[in-house]
Amino acid sequence: MEQKSNNLGVGMTVFGAIFFIFGFATTFIITMTAPVKAIFGLSEFMAQLLASAFFITYPIMSIPSGMLIKRIGYKWTVILGLLLMGLGSLLFWPAAMVPSFPAFLFATFILACGVVFLQVAANPYVTALGPSSSASSRLNLTQALNSIATMIAPWIISVAIFRGLGLPADESLMTPEHGLAAAERVPLPFISMAIIVIAVAIILFTINLPALITEKNEKAKTSIWKYPHVVLGAFGIFAYVGAEVGNAGLIVNYLRRSADVDPEVASTYAAIYWGGAMVGRFFGSIMFSDMKDKAKKYGLVAAVLVLAFVSGSFVTDFTWTAGLIFMGIAFVNFIIMQFGTGKAARTLAIFALSAAALALLTTFTTGHVALWTVISIGLFNSIMFPNIFSLAVTDLDGEEMAAASGVINSLIIGGAIIPPLMGFIAESVGYTWAFLIPAICYLYIFFYAVKGHKIRTA
């Protein structure tokens, strides 16, 4: 893709906002599995089907989305995605008023179709918008903005749905009245989301984006499968998304069961898990950038550590101890990142191995230790998506980039398969044993970072 406009600032600003929007929507749905479990009295396996309804859209819509980009361009694909998100959000109103779990699943599917349109357009756009040498840095920056939204979403669920509701920590004490009370609180945040995304679609319609011209390449549709680093990278995305979503989907109910924590407080810890991804991605954006001024670089790192302290304290109702612990773990994360020496593959390998170790510690420990090990995984999830994606599209051009984005994003279906599997294990054997599944996922990502990403032709 070649740039038609050098207005990098406009493109990054708009797509930074787009990443924020679909990050919020994605995490909001994932965290909604806990309220939905309460509303309908579902098993953990059934509740995780809400995540499945969201992520099943990726294999269905990703490749058609890539084709749509070629036909109508990035801007109109994004506008269409925003409008679909608005429609899906509004459908939660009648779904909650009935209430109907199938209607919840349908509304989730429609909303997720819009998110797929945004994501398939956004990642290759940001990759191609500037120099290839700093593509990983740009993706980490936009993913960090995405992660600000993912930290806010669980906190909003805690405040808008759980706060003052009086749901018992012991699920056996739940009554149908508790479920109906929770259902009545669902429409407001979704209506607010609909208003915001429709307003953004209208604003986007009125502005000009830097255009990226797709060069014609008749061999792209078939040649993309000849690149093992693309195909293996797509499975890396499958493993990453499945593990990240599976962890997040279980956190609230895991803490209720293992630590006797009420849902409102547990949701704040889920926010810290997602906040870890935010902090780690800001670190990644700094370390993978072309910034030469070390004083400025480490000044930004200090600012991110302060952000970790403030955000960790804020979402836990200004529990300063939680903020300090979160900042301390973030500092350790930054130190570990230095061993990656600014290289995408090496950093990915180190982070994947660290995340696998934390998932295993969550499996074989309990109480306060397990609480912080599972939350800390978020910090090591941080750079995985942008680094896997940038490694998977290395040396691609023209239509190959759009085709690869469609294939890679279709494997986000990991978020539809891994969470129900973890839910089944949690119900059958125990919540801690469910975290063996993400440990396996992270070990595959380690393999991709060490060997699978190397460019060769099949």
User: 43-76, pLDDT tens digit by residue?
Assistant: 888 988 988 999 999 889 887 887 888 788 888 8
Mean confidence (pLDDT) of the chain = 84
- Compute CA 170 distance to the chain's CA centroid, rounded to the nearest angstrom: 29
**pLDDT of 173:** 60
Cβ neighbours of 190 (radius 10 Å): 22
User: CATH for 2-212+219-452?
Assistant: 1.20.1250.20
Name the band, by pLDDT with cuts 50, 70 and 90, for residue 164.
low
What pLDDT was estimated at residue 458?
A: 59
Residue 334 confidence (pLDDT) above 50: yes
At 296-322, the pLDDT tens digits run 889 999 999 999 999 889 888 888 999
State residue 70's pLDDT score. 79
Report the pLDDT value the prediction gives residue 242, as an integer from 0 to 100.
Answer: 95
Using 50, 70 and 90 to split pLDDT, how confident is the model at 175?
low
Pick the closest to residue 27 from 240, 271, 216, 285 (CA basis). Answer: 271
**H or E stretch including 3?**
strand 2-3
Q: What are the structural domain ranges in the chain?
A: 2-212+219-452
Q: What is the pLDDT of residues 216-236, one digit of tens each?
A: 544 444 567 888 999 999 999
> Comparing 289 with 77, which gets the higher pLDDT?
77
- Lowest model confidence (mean pLDDT) among 141-155, 388-402, 415-429: 141-155
pLDDT of residue 82: 92
| Gap between the Cα atoms of 112 and 88, Å rounded | 8
Average pLDDT over residues 370-395: 90
**pLDDT tens digits for range 73-111:** 888 898 999 999 999 999 999 998 888 999 999 999 999
Res 223: pLDDT: 67
Q: Does pLDDT of 337 surpass 50?
A: yes
Residue with tokens 């460019």: 455
Round to whole Å and give the CA distance between 179 and 413.
29
Q: Does the pLDDT of residue 181 top 70, yes or no?
A: yes
CB 241 within 8 A of CB 409: no
What integer is the mean pLDDT of 323-348?
A: 92
pLDDT value at 289 more than 80: no
Q: Does residue 99 have a cis bond before it (omega within 30 degrees)?
A: yes
